[in-house]
Amino acid sequence: MARFRSVAIAAAILIALPPHIALAQTAVRTTPADQAAFERRALQLVDLFGGKIAYSAYFDPHFQAAVPEPQFDAFRAGLIAQYGEPVAIDRATAANDRSGTVLLRFERGVATVLLDIGAAADKRVSGLQITGVTVADDSFEKVAAEIAELPGQTGFLVAELDEGTIRPLGSANVDRQFATGSTFKLYILDELAAQVAEGKRRWSDVVPLSHFSFSSAGTANWPAKTPVTLQTLANWMISVSDNGAADTLIHLLGREAIEARMRRAGHSDPSRNIPLLTTVEAFALKGNNFSDLRPAFINGDDAAQRKLLDDNRHRLTLANVDGVSFTAGPRFIDSLEWFASPNDIARLMVDLRARRSKTLLAAMAINNGVGPVAAADWSYLGYKGGSENGVLSMSLLGQRKSDGQWVVVTASWNNSKANVDTGPLIGLVTRLLALAAHAPHAAPAPGTPPAARRP
C-alpha cells in the first residue's frame, strides 16, 4: 500500500534499537568484556557490509525481527552502489558499556555508525544506525551531478534565508513542480500558526479527532471524537506525518483558508494544489474504487474539481479506499498529488520562520530527520518529508551554529514509472546539509525571486 508519510532520514536509513536498551545505556557498569565486545563488533563492520559475515551471526533476534535480512541486504547494496566497497574502520569510540560511534570508511565516503551491543552472552548487535556519510572534497556540484543521475525527475535547492531574500548555494530545477507527498502539511501548519497569531485559535484549544486516514502513527485506532489539542495535532502531523491529524486540521481550519495561505506564502503554481486534497481524498481518487470519478477530477478545472469533491464527500472516505490498488508502483503522481517546486518550499520556509512561533518551530524539530550527528552543526533544525510510491521529498530548515544564519535544504525525486529507493536521496540530502553547514555566505543569484510573505 502506498503511504503519504514523513521521511525521517536517520530512521529511514536503518535502526533497530529497543526502548529498554536506549533508556538503560548508562545504568549498567562497563566491563572489560563489554568493551571488548563493542570493539570486536565495530571491527567486523567492514566484513558485515562487504557481505563476508552472516547476517544472523552479527545481529541479535530483536534486530532480525525489526529489520529482515532482505531489507538489510538492499540497504547494504545501496550504500555500496553510492559510496563503493567498505575498506576500513577509521575510529571506534565507546560511549558507555555497550554503545558507541564507529567511523566506517568506504571507497568514496566515511559513514558515521551508531552501534549497540546486546546484553546476551553472544554479544550480537541489537542496534545499528547510520546517521550520515561524509565525502572527501565534496561540493554542491558533485552532489548535483549525482542527484541528476537518479532515474526520473529531480530537483533541489540549498539556500540562505534573510527575511524575504533567498540566496542559493546550490540548486537544480528549482522552478519545476514536483509531487512532494506529505511535505504539503507545512502549509497546514502555516495556516494553523496564522490563525493562532490572529487570535482565532489557541494552540491549547481542544478539538475532536474528526477524520481518519492511512499511515496515521499517532491516531491509528483511536476512538472517533477523541479530544486532542491543536498543538498535539500539529505535533503528530509533522513529526510522524499523521494523516488523520492532517485531515482533521484541514476540515477544522478550512480547505480554502489553507489554499489562500499557500498563495500568500508565494507558491508559484497554486492551481496544482487547488482544491487542496485531504489525504483520504487523494487515496480514494487514486484507487480502483473511484476509477469513475478520477478522469473527471484530473481533467476538470479548479471549480469542477471542488464541486466533484463536495458532491462525493460522503463517498470519499477511509471506508471506501481500495488499499489493494497501492501495492505495486506509482499511481497518478503527476496529477493526483500535492505539488511544489524547490523555490516554493524555500518561500514557504521563509513564511514559517517569519511567524516567530516557538510552537511551530518546536513541532518541526521533534523529528529533525537526520539524527544527532548530522544535526551537530545546527542550533536549530526542523524537518518535514514526504513519500509514496514514486515520490520522495525532504526539506529542512536550519540555523547554523557558526554564524546564526538560517538555511533551507530541500530536494524532490519523482519517478512515475517505478518506486524510488529512499537510500540514495537520503545520503545526498545529508551531504547537502553538511555542505550548507560550512558554506560561506552567498550572494543572491541574478533573477532570484524574493520570498513572499503576507499577513
What is the per-residue pLDDT across 173-229, written as a single tens digit (0 to 9) for each? 999 999 999 999 999 999 999 999 999 999 999 999 999 887 677 888 899 999 999
Domain match, 71 and 164 both = no
* pLDDT interval class at 453 (50, 70, 90): very low
Residue 452 inside a domain? The answer is no
Residue 451 inside a domain? The answer is no
Asked whether the CA dihedral 252, 257, 262, 266 is positive or negative, the reply is negative
pLDDT value of residue 424:
86
Q: Where would I find the beta strands (DSSP E) of 177-271? A: 178-179, 206-208, 227-229
**Which of 90, 107, 134 delimits the end of a domain?**
134
Q: Look at 41-55, 187-201, 320-334 and tell me which has the smallest mean pLDDT.
A: 320-334
Domain match, 256 and 339 both = yes
- 55: closest CA among 40, 70, 39? 70
Tally of domains within the chain: 2
Select the more confidently predicted residue: 72 or 34: 72
Alpha-helical runs (H) found in 325-394? 342-354, 358-365, 371-374
Torsion from C-alpha of 265, 268, 274, 279, nearest 10 degrees: -70
With a cut of 90, say whether residue 440 has pLDDT above it.
no
What single letter denotes the amino acid at residue 210? S
Residue 162 inside a domain? The answer is yes
Element (H, E) at 69: helix 69-83
Rounded to whole angstroms, how far apart are CA atoms 126 and 117?
5
Q: Please write down the long-range contacts of 32-36, taking CB distance under 8 Å and 24 or more positions apart.
A: 34/97, 34/98, 34/117, 34/123, 35/94, 35/97
With a cut of 80, say whether residue 1 has pLDDT above it.
no
pLDDT value of residue 103:
94
Domain match, 130 and 149 both = no
pLDDT value of residue 30:
40
Q: Look at 82-96, 256-270, 388-402 and tell me which has the smallest mean pLDDT.
A: 82-96
Residue 344 inside a domain? The answer is yes
Domain match, 127 and 259 both = no
**Which residue's entry shows cell 469533491?**
309
Q: What DSSP string runs through 159-201? A: EEEETTEEEEEEEESTTS-EE-GGGGHHHHHHHHHHHHHTTS-
**Which of 134, 162, 178 delimits the end of a domain?**
134
Residue 449 inside a domain? The answer is no
Element (H, E) at 248: helix 243-253
pLDDT value of residue 35:
61
Rounded to whole angstroms, how far apart are CA atoms 135 and 433?
12
Q: Look at 75-79, 149-153, 154-158, 252-256 and tell me which has the smallest mean pLDDT.
A: 75-79
Domain match, 149 and 130 both = no
Percent of the chain's residues with pLDDT above 90: 71
Domain match, 108 and 187 both = no
Provide the domain limits for residue 269: 140-437
Domain match, 427 and 388 both = yes
Domain match, 146 and 108 both = no
C-alpha distances in angstroms, 40 versus 31, 47, 60, 141?
14, 12, 15, 38
How large is the average pLDDT for residues 321-341? 89
With a cut of 70, say whether residue 13 has pLDDT above it.
no
Task: Provide the CB-side half-sphere exposure for 323 (13 A, CA).
Answer: 7
Domain match, 88 and 105 both = yes
* pLDDT interval class at 441 (50, 70, 90): low
Residue 293 inside a domain? The answer is yes
Q: Quick check: pTM over 0.85?
A: no
Domain match, 60 and 164 both = no
Domain match, 358 and 284 both = yes
Say if residues 278 and 211 touch (Cβ distance below 8 Å): yes
Domain match, 63 and 202 both = no
Treating both helix axes as pointing N-terminal to C-terminal, what angle do 422-437 and 69-83 enclose, rounded to 10 degrees? 50
pLDDT value of residue 220:
84
